[in-house]
Amino acid sequence: MDFSRSVYLLGRLSTDPDVQALLAGLKIIRQPSVDIDEGDDGRILSAEDWLTNLQLGVELGFVARAYLLGEDDFDAATEPMVLSQVYFYRNHADVKPYRGRLPFSIGPDDDRKGVRAKFATYEPTRRSYLRDTWELPECRVTVSYVDEGARIGFVLCLLRPPAMPADADDAALVPSIAQIARVMAKPLMDPEVRLTFAPLRLEQNLEEDETGSVASLTRHFGIELRFRYLGGGREQSLANVLFYREHEAEGARWPGELPKELSFDDSPEQVTQKIGRAPDQLLDEEFDGYATWHFVEYSLQVKYSTMENYVLCVQMAAPDAALAA
């Protein structure tokens, strides 16, 4: 069966008649829902749900509408679900190959070079690493490959989440990377630390945890500050600074500079090019990857999506500090 037109349903509610017809065509009976912990006062375990027909090689991803919009306070039992992803599996473990037409004129026998040729019009949007990602008017498209690029592993079509920029007034308050680098490893009570982060309301957001203190400023500024006891010292010092892309920490995107002139829209390949050398440590997983560089002033870790090929979080760590998990 041909399910290539399903990509035009991205963004529609699961109750939409056309989405219901898609589920029926895939012989999927269960309706998407938020995963709730019944034994913990209805705590939300996941705002996403996945429905798959392993025999037809198609998987649908749904997300709670409120979660998609960046809202963290919603009724999980009644919140509508939105179609957010469609996978077409060609060569994937435990899934039979999708035999229908692939979207956007991708051929079932295309290799990596052939797929890139099909998307030549959108070449300026391509982000590449283990997979290739393009931004099309209709959606975001990621293509994975097997056999060193000789065959398609899967085609993934994703709904682009809404942008969550920091408020313009908030964005005007953030310190520069040079200012932040100067206070790395300095004590929490140091006047320069207080002055640097005072516009972000450090005092009002500082909370103790099991190993020091944390100021989670992710909602409005997309930044988190962690203070730890470094090198056996008796004072808490600025150990880790984490800068987040929107949705990564359920808040706005960090609006200021990133270290080494990085951008959240850089691919992992572009990150390495900008830094100018291979990472000292590299870990690639199914959905995320981590690249770490050690410099004299601080260590730098970049967390990126291996599915969509962009930066999710950038972390600066003081020389004596462990990288924050």
Distance CA 90, CA 109 (A): 10
pLDDT for res 167: 78
Distance CA 119, CA 191 (A): 53
Distance CA 54, CA 97 (A): 9
What is the separation, in whole angstroms, between the first and last Cα of the chain?
44
pLDDT over 70 percentage in the chain? 98
pLDDT for res 168: 79
pLDDT for res 42: 64
Task: List C-alpha distances in Å: 218 to 135, 210, 236.
Answer: 26, 20, 21
pLDDT for res 222: 93
Which tokens is 300 given?
């730098």
Candidates 299, 324, 99, 14; CA nearest to 184 is: 299
Q: What is the pTM of this model?
A: 0.92
Res. 232: pLDDT tops 80: no
| pLDDT tens-digit readout, 214-231 | 999 998 899 999 999 998
pLDDT for res 245: 95
pLDDT for res 41: 66
pLDDT for res 163: 82
CA angle 295, 213, 254 (to 5 degrees): 60
pLDDT for res 219: 87
User: CA torsion 110→111→112→114, rounded to 10°?
Assistant: -50
What is the 3-state composition of the chain as percent helix, strand, coil, each rounded to the nearest 5? 25, 35, 45
Note whether 225 and 197 are within 8 A (CB).
yes
pLDDT for res 110: 97
Among 107-121, 157-171, 180-194, 255-269, name the one with the lowest average pLDDT.
157-171
* Residues in Cβ contact with 185 at an 8 Å cutoff, skipping those fewer than 6 apart: 230, 237, 238, 239, 318, 319, 320, 321
pLDDT for res 39: 66
pLDDT for res 72: 72
Distance CA 103, CA 306 (A): 21
Distance CA 195, CA 202 (A): 9
3-class DSSP assignment, residue 224: strand
Mean of all residue pLDDT scores within the chain: 93
pLDDT for res 40: 61
| pLDDT tens-digit readout, 282-298 | 999 999 999 999 999 99
Res. 43: pLDDT tops 70: yes
